[in-house]
Amino acid sequence: MRQFAALALIALAGCSQETNNSTVTANVTGETANVADVTNAVKPVHTGGDAVALPATETAYLGKWIGPEGLMLEVTAKPGGGVVINNQWSLDDKGKFEGSVTAEGLRWMRGTTPVSAVLTSGDATGMKWLAGKKNCLTVAAGSEAYCRN
């Protein structure tokens, strides 16, 4: 089991989009596994209360996400790269925005306000209407989040 954990950690570190100059090494012999300098090798995304998640690919964000009271966020791929976000974030506010997927999550600008959404569970959104759901995007815990049906 330790061997598997060490190898999985090394594989994830090699796939990370954001690394520093730390070296990842492993010495796996028999039942022991030693992994050195891994602490800063992978920069995880904190999901607001859930376990830490590694950055997702753009395809993980594509599709329609539903929030409480008819709010929604729809993400489509933009020809040439990036995404288009169709968003109703309050009963009175909606718009269409260009954005991107980064290691920190889905990012866009609402006018002059930078917005980002990270993949979380419904429980991590802090919103009772979304509790129990498994595949969600949280913009602001407790006030703005969306989940897939």
Task: Please give the Cα distance from 93 to 54 (Å, whole number).
Answer: 31
Whether residue 98 sits in one domain with residue 29: no
pLDDT at 3 over 90: no
Which residues sit opposite 96 in a β-bridge? 86
**Half-sphere CA count of 44, side-chain side, radius 13 A:** 12
- Kindly state the tokens that stand for 118: 């990270």
Selection from 23, 53, 60 nearest residue 40 by Cα: 23
Q: Burial letters for 108-128: b for 16+ Cβ neighbours within 10 Å, e otherwise?
A: beeeeeebebbbbbbbbbbbe
Residue 24: inside a domain: yes
Whether residue 31 sits in one domain with residue 82: no
Which pLDDT tens digit goes with each residue over 131-146? 999 999 999 999 999 9
Residue 51: inside a domain: no
pLDDT band for 80, please (50, 70, 90 cuts). confident
Whether residue 62 sits in one domain with residue 15: no
pLDDT at 4 over 80: no
Q: Which amino acid is present at 115? A: V
Residue 41: inside a domain: no
Mean pLDDT of the region 46-72: 74
Q: Is the pTM of this model over 0.85?
A: no
Which pLDDT tens digit goes with each residue over 8-35? 434 444 443 433 333 333 333 333 333 3
pLDDT at 82 over 70: yes
* Domain around 127: 58-147
